[in-house]
Amino acid sequence: MATKAKTRTERDSMGTMTVPADVLYGASTQRAVLNFPISGRAVGHEIIHAFALLKGAAAESNHELGKLTQKRRRLIAKACTEIATALEGDDHARTAMMRNFPVDVFQTGSGTSSNMNTNEVVSNMACLAAGAKIGAQDPVHPNDHVNMGQSSNDTFPTAMQVAACVQIKQSLLPALKKLARTLHTKARQFDKYVKIGRTHLQDATPIRLGQEFSGYAAQIDHAVERAKRASEAMASNLPIGGTAVGTGINTHPRFGRLVASRLSRATGVRFKEAANHFEAQATRDCIVEAHGLLRTISISLSKIASDIRLMGSGPRASWFEIILPELQPGSSIMPGKVNPVLVESVMQVTAQVEGNDVTIGVGAMGGVGSMMELNVSMPCMAERLLESIRLLANASDLFADNCVAGLKANRKRIDETVEQSLMLGTALVPVIGYNKSAEIAHHAYETGQTIREYCLAHGILDAKALDDVLDVSGMTRPH
């Protein structure tokens, strides 16, 4: 016979609610749990971590402004540090702490439920630390003290921006820098291999394999700068201090600036209070801008992954100019088949980021998310934003280690295709003109000869002259 779960009674402005006895949230959170059983996905730990940093910074700032006692400041700061530390810890610590933050992503569009969830957890932790009963709301009240000088309307957008900036700094930028280094290394290693270039997937003039990879490395160099600009777009425009509608009602004029300064010290990211709180709260334009830059990074990854997959296709009936690391069997029916699994994983990530960009764009549009003085699609937008950062970071890291670092050039195949290419005839143009060169390429194709073989057979140029003109290494630079 099942035993009845233990509960306790907590109170909010609407009355009492029955809450599980072993969690730290209160009545407002329980209402949200009952109201939004939609996706089964709680607001991510990155947002809660940012909320903990934010509430701690708010308590310190309110104390500095003479609005919060030293005792309450200390209790709130201690609770926020414990939350943040647990969420920075191992999976067990994070999972245990996140039991206290169960509100679904698809909640009220302002994120009010998550803000109140954090207020209640911090209040209860503070009360327990002070020797009071859980739910006592004294000496630390969730609204009066934890939420002092704040509104859900400025805290949730601030938390989503802080969370995204921290994740870019801690995970995305290191992964992109690693990938850039790995691609630069390959560009140097491959620079001695001259292969046939391709435009429109048709043979073109020769190019060094290293030159191709230098282009990929440059894409990721640009991606690093784009990630920095994405962070800057969000870090320079924190809504905190605007409270309900941007006017700053019920807060001190210096509050937003002080909180931003403390968040900067806590994270190593340079945060600034928004210059215009009405823009910062009524829109999510900074999120659209930031994710647009992430989308560009994603498109760069897609291009690189697609090219590597093409160059590695084969091994006998296709290009096979580079040899990809063999990671796992590729088929349940074809023995010996090995597929470019890591490349395909990266390309699926880029597809998801494209979808996330659409969701964020729609969430920020007038009449959908941005309505008058407040955007009401923020929890969903925050989840998509953080997912894109996480996916791009993880994919870039694995792509560098498990694919790019292990790539090898297939010199035999590269040399064969270069000599066979009819586009070597381009080098004849300065010597014999475009029309004659085109005629030679056409006849060589019909006879199955190479450009060199056709020219020798028909006395177009002698062997020494052809060696000079058809020097494929020389064709890879201006001359």
What pLDDT is recorded for position 328?
A: 85
**In a shared domain, residues 48 and 134:** yes
Same domain? For 177 and 44 the reply is: no
pLDDT at 264: 98
Q: Is residue 82 part of a domain?
A: yes
Domain endpoint, select from 78, 113, 148: 148
Q: Residue 2: inside a domain, yes or no? A: no
* Domain co-membership, 340 together with 196: yes
Q: Is residue 226 part of a domain?
A: yes
Beta bridge partners of 323: 408
Query: Which residues form the catalytic set?
Result: 200, 331
Residues 86 and 229 in one domain: no
- Are 90 and 168 contained in the same domain? no
**Same-domain check for residues 273 and 137:** no
Q: What is the pLDDT of residues 79-136, one digit of tens each?
A: 999 999 999 999 999 999 999 999 999 999 999 999 999 999 999 999 999 999 999 9
CATH of the domain at 54: 1.10.275.10
Average of per-residue pLDDT values in the chain: 95
Domain boundary among 148, 169, 200: 148
The answer as to whether 160 is a domain residue is yes
33 and 102 share a domain? Answer: yes
Q: According to the model, what pLDDT value does residue 316 have? A: 87
Its pTM stands at 0.94
Do residue 158 and residue 142 come from a single domain?
no
Residue 415 lies in a domain: no
**Over 80: is that where the pLDDT of 5 sits?**
no
Residue 445 is predicted with a pLDDT of: 93
Domain termination site, one of 148, 164, 186:
148
- pLDDT score at 335: 83
Question: Whole domain around residue 357: which residue ranges?
Answer: 154-410
Is residue 416, in this structure, part of any structural domain at all?
Answer: no
pLDDT for 372-394, tens place per residue? 999 999 999 999 999 999 999 99
Residue 265 belongs to domain with CATH number:
1.20.200.10
pLDDT for 315-355, tens place per residue? Answer: 988 999 999 999 888 878 888 888 889 999 999 999 999 99
The pLDDT, as a whole number, for residue 423 is 84
Tell me whether residue 341 is in a domain: yes
Total domains in the chain come to 3
The more confidently predicted of residues 425 and 302 is 302
Residues 434-458 have pLDDT tens digits of 999 999 999 999 999 999 999 899 9
User: Do residues 278 and 164 share a domain?
Assistant: yes
Query: Is residue 209 located within the same domain as residue 226?
Result: yes
For residue 3, what pLDDT is reported?
57
pLDDT at 78: 98
CATH number at residue 431: 1.10.40.30
Domain match, 334 and 389 both: yes
44 with 67, same domain?
yes
